[in-house]
Chain A
């Protein structure tokens, strides 16, 4: 079964089953804050298609990490594609915006013409395969490796991320922001 990947803030998706004790959140509901991870633009929501063997998951993580403005962890949810397709109905293939050209062309999707009810149903009814985090250190390794192999186009990365990865030459100003490593 394939999945849809969406970048999130993991703590907003914790439930009572995870050990979170919010007296006001029923056991079968999520915290309201998780809706902020499903904010639509022009009534559309961006997803990345992940195949059932998860073979392209690393590429999708790379596309998302590479599109960030700084080096940071990646929290994500993998929805069951079948459920999302049933809820969203108008899922279209569209080109993603990231330094990973192949991922942009092959795996990016937009759920379009969404209603507020459909967005809510994603949090309530869509099956979730997993909610995961890739730690910052692992993201750094993935990005460095991908840039070296030419999978990611460094020139398409944000200057903040390039600076954190020390991809700019010292004559270009080097690391402008602090970084503990």
Chain B
């Protein structure tokens, strides 16, 4: 590969990611919310967005292909879950593999599906727990973002999975989101669990 090819490859890569991220977030109807709240966790992901208008057809196609592969992997997991149930598959291993292979796109894809209600509650809850268990450092911030966002989803089963993920990540920076979730939580035992997690966060 020549130096020009390398530079072009780097440029394409750095460009593709924001495009993909934007698509994911806009798919879930989240762009407006994030931009209006200037979410400190997500705004860095959107920095390059003005450039997306300059994306070539090739770059868009590449972004599309990568997004498609992540969706295929998640579809496979969902199909397996329906076929054999949660005891028939190692959801933790599957999620870890998808996160390691698909990186930020996997997290955004999970977020998108949860927001749109495309994952059955129990599986969604398990996925969030294992998103918190993941050891992938590269996606740590966006995983934390996902878990914190999921704390405001309508399903208490999903919120519980997100809480378990947050507890596993044990990042004191989640305290702000957790306090906000506690204020809004109407399921008493879940609220108690949130308070307990908050009390020990980052210890």
Give A residues with C-beta under 8 Å from B. Answer: 10-11, 14, 18-21, 33, 70, 72-73, 131, 133, 135-137, 175, 177-181
Contact = CB atoms under 8 A, between A and B. Distances in A.
Contact of B167 (A14, A73, A131, A177): A73
14 contacts: A14-B187, A18-B188, A19-B186, A19-B187, A19-B188, A20-B156, A73-B167, A135-B193, A135-B197, A177-B92, A177-B96, A178-B136, A180-B170, A181-B170
Contacts of A137: 167, 170, 200, 203
Interface in B113-159: 122, 125, 129, 132-136, 156-157
B160 interface: yes
SS class, residues of chain A in contact with chain B: loop
Given A10-B160, A19-B186, A20-B156, A179 B135 contact: yes
Interface of B: 92-93, 96, 122, 125, 129, 132-136, 156-157, 160, 164, 167-170, 186-190, 193, 196-197, 200, 203
B187 A18 contact: yes
Nearest to A22: B156
Nearest to B135: A178
Contacts of A135: 167, 193, 196-197, 200
